[in-house]
Amino acid sequence: MKYCAVICELNPFHNGHEYIFRKAREVSGCDRLIAIMSGPFVQRGRPAVTSERLRAECAMRYGADAVIELPVVYAAASGEIFARGAVNILNTMPDIVYLVMGTESDDPELLRRIAEIRAENGEKFNDALAARLGEGLPYARALTRALCDVMPDVPPEKTEKALTCPNNILAIAYAAALIASGSRAVFMPVKRANDPDRFASATALRGYVSDRDAEKYMPHLAREILHNGAAADEKAFDLLVMHALRSASLADIASTPDCAEGFEHKLKDLASVCGSFSELMSAVPTSRFTRSRIMRICLQTLLGITRDMQHSGYVCSRLIGVREDAKDLLSVLPENIIIGKRGEAAIPREHLRCFAAERRASDIYSLICGTPCDFYSRLLTV
């Protein structure tokens, strides 16, 4: 059997996700579709709109055969680390031969070319990117200039246009991770549907406040599943973050993966004088770091995620759910895919800190949702 993977957040699940899952099956001809999905917290450093079990149920109702959780040490990370962590987990499953991702680009070959440059010139490219960002350039322009610095034959105008789209940037990161890791999985970009009457981004949907607003952008059953679940209380989360920042030492904050250039001093000072997280975010300078990066530093401090944890080679990942008609997957998943509490015995000692961060994330998420912790809930089946 051949398997296909989709790396996702589903925050929340919408028509665009259903489209990508459907197209993934079409273009790959796969027998099984596996989603590698963020858990309780997502890449921008915030709680997911609802639990991973509810989002996994949506995924399995609309095309996925199984959902594996992307560990929080990678889910709450930069795009490059997010992609690398997900691809390393994908690589432990040799039957996965395709990685499908949604993009905005009409030119998949350009994305492949950019990914090859990034993978083959890793350190040189990262140095060039850091230098361009140091000039104060917007990220897409800095990325384009860095690519041109490394490979002068890259067409700058066409490249910069492609890199203004966040899904293209993430797709390039996935493809570069596949190349750099020597993965046998094939990069398969799928152009996202562009129908404003049926499709809206997850960012836009998170801004809607009523069911009616979101109705046309979400599949009916997914909407019912999500709205019947407990939502995360972001104000409660913000209080926990402020407590963590005030309690943490400068060394604790400095050890988080996204902190650099002495930023821990500014963050610690602001946490001491600001009365709320929103006040802190309004006061913190964003010329050096994006808001998402700052929010990730805060989340990483709360969860105790350190730089070395992201580079430890951790590939243990929990199986959240599997379709009843796809339970054959259970017999072929590798040992690092944890199924129930019993599966924890396979976690190497050196990776227990990463797994402890998973448990902390689940505990904190259940608190801000006002629900029992479901870390050891039974395997979800639909």
Is 14 annotated as belonging to a binding site? yes
Is 375 annotated as belonging to a binding site? no
| Alpha carbon distances (Å) from 61 to 179, 243, 378 | 32, 39, 18
Is 135 annotated as belonging to a binding site? no
Distance CA 107, CA 359 (A): 41
Is 227 annotated as belonging to a binding site? no
Cβ–Cβ under 8 Å, residues 242 and 276 = yes
Is 17 annotated as belonging to a binding site? yes
Is 18 annotated as belonging to a binding site? yes
Is 68 annotated as belonging to a binding site? no
Is 311 annotated as belonging to a binding site? no
Cβ–Cβ under 8 Å, residues 357 and 305 = yes
Distance CA 299, CA 45 (A): 6
Is 192 annotated as belonging to a binding site? yes
Is 91 annotated as belonging to a binding site? no
- Name the maximum alpha-carbon separation found in the chain: 58
Is 30 annotated as belonging to a binding site? no
Is 19 annotated as belonging to a binding site? yes
Is 285 annotated as belonging to a binding site? no
Report the binding-site residues for ATP: 7-20, 102, 167, 192
Report the binding-site residues: 7-20, 102, 167, 192
